[in-house]
């Protein structure tokens, strides 16, 4: 049995993201028209890539499955903004049901800004709950960046609309957290919920720094987001620090 249409018909189906089921794939495989076979190979490669991505994502839920249950709720937590010379530190907490399909989900550092924005919107739609917490520049300067990061993480967890039973955190356990927790080395690469939290925290902080650029355009916050780049140090040398600079960080006072 041949595909009941033309090559153009099949192209339109593919471009409109119409579901190509296994039965239709079998029909396309048997159709000897060169144009159909070319599109079949494209579909077959796409199908195999989708299956590989589902398998990769399934492995990212190993900790959520191990710690969770129908009754227990597991949240992933991660932060963004420990290294910058300016701006607050952000943290996100995310609850994902095991098996939630978020194609492309990964450590935020492995994603482009456009990919992070896409994933942030997608996971907000598909996750069970999410929240973002902050620690201010003043808190960073008075407590140190590590303690401020813990504070932002605890605020993110407190703001979740769902009671959490267990926390997965990237790198280091959260000091002073009363909930059971497990720190995972490179957690944003081995846990789906931590990876999701890394995306949300990064996107939230980047957007805030873009807003700060409107207030302090001379520093270029929209480009480097407060990180210690050559451009940023040059601006500090010329203008000195502004109210959102971290005075406790080396290089802020001297501007070099």
What tens digit of pLDDT does each residue of 14-47 get? 777 767 778 878 888 888 888 888 888 888 888 8
Confidence class for position 53, pLDDT limits 50, 70, 90: confident
Cβ 132 vs Cβ 91: under 8 Å: yes
Name the burial class of residue 185, with classes exposed (0-12), middle (13-18) and buried (19+) by CB atoms within 10 angstroms of its CB.
exposed
How many CA atoms does the CB half-sphere of 141 hold within 13 Å? Answer: 16
CA 155, 173, 66, 191 torsion-angle sign: positive
| CA separation for the pair 119, 202 (Å, rounded) | 11
Model confidence at 114: pLDDT above 70: yes
- Look at residue 255 in the predicted model and tell me its pLDDT: 38
Q: What is the pTM of this model?
A: 0.82
pLDDT at 152: 98
Cβ 62 vs Cβ 187: under 8 Å: no
With bands split at pLDDT 50, 70 and 90, how would you rate the model's confidence at 256? very low
Cβ-contact 78, 175 below 8 angstroms: no
pLDDT 10s digits, 133-175:
999 999 999 999 999 999 999 999 999 999 999 999 999 999 9
Does residue 49 register a pLDDT over 80?
A: no
Question: For residues 108 and 172, is the Cβ–Cβ distance under 8 A?
Answer: no
- The arrangement of secondary structure in 62-212, i.e. its CATH architecture, is 2-Layer Sandwich (3.30)
Count of alpha carbons within 13 Å of 39, Cβ hemisphere only?
22
Pinpoint the residues of the chain covered by CATH 3.30.420.10.
62-212
Residue with tokens 């040059």: 234
């Amino acid at each position: 049995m041949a595909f009941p249409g033309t090559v153009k018909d099949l192209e339109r189906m593919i471009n409109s993201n119409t579901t190509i089921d296994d039965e239709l794939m079998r029909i396309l495989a048997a159709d000897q028209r060169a144009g159909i076979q070319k599109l079949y190979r494209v579909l077959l490669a796409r199908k195999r890539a989708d299956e590989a991505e589902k398998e990769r994502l399934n492995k990212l839920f190993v900790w959520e499955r191990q710690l969770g249950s129908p009754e227990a709720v597991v949240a992933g937590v991660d932060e963004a903004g420990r290294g910058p010379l300016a701006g607050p530190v952000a943290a996100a907490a995310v609850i994902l049901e095991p098996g939630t399909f978020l194609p492309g989900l990964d450590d935020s550092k492995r994603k482009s800004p456009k990919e992070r924005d896409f994933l942030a919107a997608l996971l907000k739609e598909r996750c069970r709950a999410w929240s973002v917490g902050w620690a201010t520049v003043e808190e960073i300067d008075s407590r140190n960046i590590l303690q401020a990061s813990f504070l932002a993480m605890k605020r993110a967890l407190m703001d979740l609309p769902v009671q959490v039973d267990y926390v997965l955190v990237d790198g280091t356990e959260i000091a002073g957290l009363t909930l059971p927790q497990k720190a995972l080395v490179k957690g944003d690469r081995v846990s789906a919920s931590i990876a999701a939290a890394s995306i949300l925290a990064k996107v939230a902080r980047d957007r805030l720094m873009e807003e700060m650029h409107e207030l302090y355009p001379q520093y270029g916050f929209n480009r480097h987001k407060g990180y210690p780049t050559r451009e940023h140090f040059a601006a500090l040398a010329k203008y000195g620090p502004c109210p959102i600079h971290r005075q406790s960080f080396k290089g802020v006072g001297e501007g070099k």
